[in-house]
């Protein structure tokens, strides 16, 4: 099984990544702030305005370390990686399936069925654990039933656009009651707003969806799949469609529950964010660092995978699902075993 290594997050906007032997060195204002051996890393995410030296980029590429650049506000800029890895026959199969409307619609419906089931699980668990007031509980349970009805529609879809329509309806239903799951009054939520995020909750969701996307892309590339050719999200220049596909089943479990946890446990406050006018709301640098530390810690928690029945660190979940998807495409599995919250 793949070893769970570290992700290096470079958070200071003035940080410069350079190379010293087999080490990556972070320098801030020309002063060394940190160094880490390259063999201890599996990826690097840089939120710096300054960037990285050619030597550091070569060291990452040569060692198979994915180097991703984001703006200080968390907007994705681009990634640097080495030669394409993986089995060309697997990718050719992926392309053929993506071009087959029936086959791709089937896989797309599995992704969204898993997403809806996991959304229902998050809502049900809240009612079970927190026993909200009667009116709120009734609203949540009504949405759970409506989500169940949306999920049933997936059995009769004939194309990917129909699957996308069901996903959109389910998302509206889910986020219509998501605010009830937030027990901290300092974090109002009136609905999902992506670009830009209009409130603190949306800022947190968007930020960690971006982090999840990085992990999922790395997982897909590690098993040899093309992250830009999806089955649900159609091809668009520059869009990692398969990343967005595989993220669907993981959003509620990995991101939504994490965001709810840090808010409800008051591990973050409303003072930890900055308003950026038309650019929405962003996390302060020190808050981002603290939350990413919690995110990394959670990735080490162990779960029993519902399909494999094996214990594994949570951080390996994207890699396991990418492997299972590859096995399905190779016809080693009759169907893709979507991840479901237990």
Give Cβ neighbours of residue 113 (< 8 Å, ≥ 6 apart).
Answer: 151, 154, 338
> pLDDT, tens digit, for every residue of 58-70?
998 888 887 888 7
- Mean pLDDT value of segment 122-140: 91
Please give the pLDDT value at position 246.
97
pLDDT category, 222, cuts 50, 70, 90? confident
Please give the pLDDT value at position 4.
55
> Which segments of 197-256 does DSSP mark as H helices, in order?
200-222, 241-247
**CATH 1.20.120.920 spans which residues of the chain?**
88-329
Closest of 77, 80, 70 to residue 15, by C-alpha = 70
240 with 213: CB under 8 angstroms? yes
SS3 state of residue 302: strand
Task: Point out which residues pair with 68 in neighbouring strands.
Answer: 45, 79
- Mean pLDDT value of segment 105-125: 96
112 with 154: CB under 8 angstroms? yes
DSSP codes joined into one string, 70-128: E-TT--EEEEE--S--S-HHHHHHHHHHHH-HHHHHHHHHHHHHHHHHHHHHHHHHHHH
DSSP code, position 156: G
Task: Point out which residues pair with 244 in neighbouring strands.
Answer: none
Longest CA–CA separation in the chain, Å: 63
> pLDDT, tens digit, for every residue of 4-41?
567 788 878 788 999 999 999 999 888 898 898 988 88
pLDDT category, 1, cuts 50, 70, 90? very low
Q: Residue 2: pLDDT above 60? A: no
pLDDT category, 338, cuts 50, 70, 90? very high
Please give the pLDDT value at position 321.
95
- Contacts within 8 Å (CB) and 24+ apart, 304-313: 304/342, 305/339, 306/337, 306/339, 306/340, 306/342, 307/337, 307/339, 312/1, 313/4
| Alpha carbon distance 337, 324 (integer Å) | 7
CATH number of 6-80: 3.100.10.20
- What percent of the chain lies above the pLDDT cut of 90? 53
> pLDDT, tens digit, for every residue of 169-208?
999 999 999 999 999 888 888 888 777 777 889 989 999 9
Better pLDDT: 279 or 255: 255
Please give the pLDDT value at position 144.
96
- Mean pLDDT value of segment 129-133: 85
DSSP code, position 256: I
Strands 6-10 and 41-46: parallel
| Alpha carbon distance 274, 202 (integer Å) | 13
Q: Residue 122: pLDDT above 90? A: yes
**Which stretch of DSSP H or E encloses residue 27?**
strand 23-28
Q: Rounded mean pLDDT of the chain?
A: 88
The CATH architecture annotation of domain 88-329 reads Up-down Bundle (1.20)
- Mean pLDDT value of segment 261-271: 91
Is the peptide bond between 325 and the residue preceding it cis, with omega within 30 degrees of 0?
no
């Amino acid at each position: 099984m793949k070893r769970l290594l570290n992700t290096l997050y470079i958070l200071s906007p003035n940080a410069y990544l350079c190379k010293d032997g087999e080490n990556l060195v972070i320098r801030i204002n020309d002063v060394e702030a940190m160094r880490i051996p390259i063999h201890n890393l599996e990826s690097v995410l840089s939120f710096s305005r300054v960037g990285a030296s050619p030597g550091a980029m070569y060291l990452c590429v040569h060692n198979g370390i994915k180097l991703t650049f984001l703006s200080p506000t968390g907007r994705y800029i681009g990634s640097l990686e080495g030669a394409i890895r993986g089995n060309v026959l697997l990718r050719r199969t992926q392309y053929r399936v993506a071009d087959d409307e029936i086959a791709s619609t089937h896989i797309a419906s599995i992704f969204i069925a898993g997403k809806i089931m996991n959304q229902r699980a998050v809502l049900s668990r809240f009612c079970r654990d927190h026993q909200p007031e009667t009116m709120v509980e009734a609203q949540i349970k009504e949405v759970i039933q409506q989500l169940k009805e949306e999920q049933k529609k997936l059995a009769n879809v004939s194309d990917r656009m129909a699957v996308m329509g069901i996903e959109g309806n389910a998302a509206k239903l889910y986020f219509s009651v998501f605010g009830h799951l937030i027990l901290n009054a300092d974090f109002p939520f009136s609905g999902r707003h992506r670009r830009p995020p209009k409130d603190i909750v949306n800022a947190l969701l968007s930020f960690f969806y971006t982090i999840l996307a990085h992990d999922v892309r790395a997982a897909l590339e590690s098993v040899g799949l093309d992250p830009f050719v999806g089955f649900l999200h159609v091809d668009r220049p520059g869009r990692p469609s398969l990343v967005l596909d595989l993220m669907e089943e993981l959003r509620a479990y990995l991101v939504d529950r994490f965001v709810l946890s840090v808010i409800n446990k008051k591990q973050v406050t409303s003072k930890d964010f900055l308003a950026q006018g038309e650019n929405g709301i962003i996390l302060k640098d020190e808050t981002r660092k603290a939350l990413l530390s919690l995110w990394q810690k959670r990735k080490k928690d162990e779960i029993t995978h519902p399909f494999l029945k094996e214990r594994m660190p949570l951080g390996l979940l994207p890699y396991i699902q990418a492997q299972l998807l590859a096995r399905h495409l190779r016809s080693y599995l009759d169907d893709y075993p979507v991840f479901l919250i237990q």
